[in-house]
Amino acid sequence: MVCLGNICRSPLAEGIMDHYAQKAGLNWEIDSAGTGGWHTGEHPHPLSRKVAKHNGIDIGKQRARTFVKEDIHRFDQIFVMDQNNYEEVKRICGTEWNIEKVDYLLNQLEPGKNNEVPDPWSHPEEKYHEVFELIKNACCTFINGYLQQRNL
């Protein structure tokens, strides 16, 4: 899960995907990162933590990190939150870029539309709840699709 600073959207996405993957009995390694390193080592934004906790998910132990080229090999799937994140992941990966592994998270809901998860940074709490629901729907759709394919 990749966003800009790794303190609002991608920590929520990491926590949500991990929570629902575990509920589905999937032993996946879920992680998040930012394309910028301004918040490296920081906990997720207080409102991201609050909204996640309100929904039964604890993301308080997460720490922000910066996306690195090696992540393209480490993970089977990389979800980005917006176009800037997509372009930055592509730039960071350079010759290691693999278009098959990187996609917009919201393409799980509307394939090929490249809709962006809005950045709730500097918005009131309500925006964090909206972002949580968007991410939850996308993550659950991804997990359900995976489980259906596995059971074919």
* 61 contacts: CB under 8 Å, gap ≥ 6: none
Query: Which residue is catalytic, options 3, 93, 139, 140?
Result: 3
Active site residue 3: yes
Q: Which helix (H) or strand (E) holds 9?
A: helix 9-23
Where do we find the tokens 């996640």?
52
| Number of alpha helices (DSSP H) and beta strands (DSSP E) in the chain | 5, 4
Count other Cβ atoms within 10 Å, centred on residue 98: 11
- Report the chain's terminal Cα–Cα distance, integer Å: 27
To the query of whether residue 82 is one of the catalytic residues in this protein, the response is no
> Of the residues 8, 93, 119, 140, which is catalytic?
119
Tell me if residue 103 is catalytic.
Answer: no
**Whole-angstrom distance, CA of residue 43 vs CA of residue 115:** 27
* Residue 71: CB atoms within 10 Å: 20
Q: What residues are annotated to the active site?
A: 3, 9, 119
